Amino acid sequence: MSSTEPNRTAPTGGGRVTVIGNPGLDTLVLLAEDVPDLSADGHFVRNVDTVGHAAAYVARNMGRLGHRTRILGAIGDDLAGRMVQEVLVDEGVDTLLLFADPAGTPRSVNLVSPGGGRTYLFDGGSHMTLVPPEDLVAAALEGPDLVVSALPNWGRAVVARARDLGLPVAVDLQDVRDVDDPYRSDFIAAADHLFASAAHLEDPEAAAAAWMGRGPARSVVFGMGSRGALLVERTDAGLHVSHQPAPDLDLPVVDTTGAGDALACGFLDGLLFRGLAPAASLHRGQVLARLVASAPGGAAGFDAGRLDSLTGRT
């Protein structure tokens, strides 16, 4: 993307956050039944297009919470890419570090059940072969208080460089099915804070211990859906494990797309920028996740003030 394109900056105050990863377009298919009959010719559904993928959800959340947020990632020169950039700019995210993906803007079709659960069909463009321009990488790592990375293949070199520069790094490992997955190893080796879904892990505590043995992570947070969240912390006395039940909030669960990203953002916002203890930060993350899940595609309106109110910090 051209460095001469107009851009609005995030609100003053807060921290400086660089997000690593490709934003994209999510098409949410809101189903009327949990298991649709795919042998039928058609179904009547509600379709919602939203700017998403992990990097965009993180950038949008951090911007709404008042942090000066920029994103290093790739989009295509297409209609979806223009929509992605416009929405990010409107929400105060600095998009001057976006570069071009010749395969087009990443896309995802998410099938969302009536209870808010979803499965997605993901097209990541050419992220496996892309190499971000050196000047953009250098600019992305110039002076942030926090680097938050998704999992584009090209991102592993960026987070390693951030680690070498002494920058705080957080990585969302997403839905992990293999604790020893080699694709994620470079990201684990660079991260101070790790996040993951526990949906397909038999023993999240053992997974956290394994990852902490392979990298510098001081905390690992697992989203557990209706069962709450699990926090594993590295302490002088060893690993400390705490489980926190899901918050009791009068909010519907409409769409869990982006909920894990919100959990990470709320936790990092509380721990690194608000001076909260880990338990209070985890609660903040869980509340933000529930808030995001209360409308399709993260459309629920919020800012730091509303999040403070819902977490009892008024």
Is residue 155 domain-resident?
A: yes
Is residue 3 domain-resident?
A: no
Is residue 7 domain-resident?
A: no
Query: pLDDT tens-digit profile of 165-193?
Result: 999 999 999 999 999 999 999 999 999 99
Is residue 2 domain-resident?
A: no
Question: The whole model's pTM is what?
Answer: 0.91
Is residue 5 domain-resident?
A: no
54-64 helix and 79-90 helix, angle to the nearest 10 degrees: 20
Is there a contact between 186 and 153 (Cβ–Cβ < 8 Å)?
A: no
Q: What DSSP character marks residue 180?
A: T
Is residue 10 domain-resident?
A: no
- 313 — pLDDT class (breaks 50, 70, 90): low
| pLDDT score, position 112 | 86
CB pairs under 8 A, 24+ apart, for 114-121?
A: 114/31, 114/32, 114/33, 114/34, 115/34, 115/253, 116/253, 116/254, 116/255, 116/256, 116/293, 117/34, 117/256, 118/28, 118/255, 118/256, 118/257, 120/26, 120/257
- Please name the residue that has the structure tokens 């987070």: 159
Is there a contact between 221 and 282 (Cβ–Cβ < 8 Å)?
A: yes
Give the number of domains in the chain. 1
Is residue 291 domain-resident?
A: yes
Query: pLDDT tens-digit profile of 32-84?
Result: 888 888 888 888 888 989 898 999 999 999 999 999 999 999 999 999 999 99
pLDDT at 10 over 50: no
CA distance 250 to 234: 34
Residue 202 belongs to domain with CATH number: 3.40.1190.20
CB pairs under 8 A, 24+ apart, for 310-314?
A: 310/249, 311/280, 311/283, 311/284, 311/287
pLDDT at 11 over 70: no
Query: pLDDT tens-digit profile of 191-213?
Result: 999 999 999 999 999 999 999 99
Is residue 224 domain-resident?
A: yes
CA distance 84 to 122: 16
What is the extent of the structural domain holding 187?
16-310
- Please name the residue that has the structure tokens 């295509």: 76
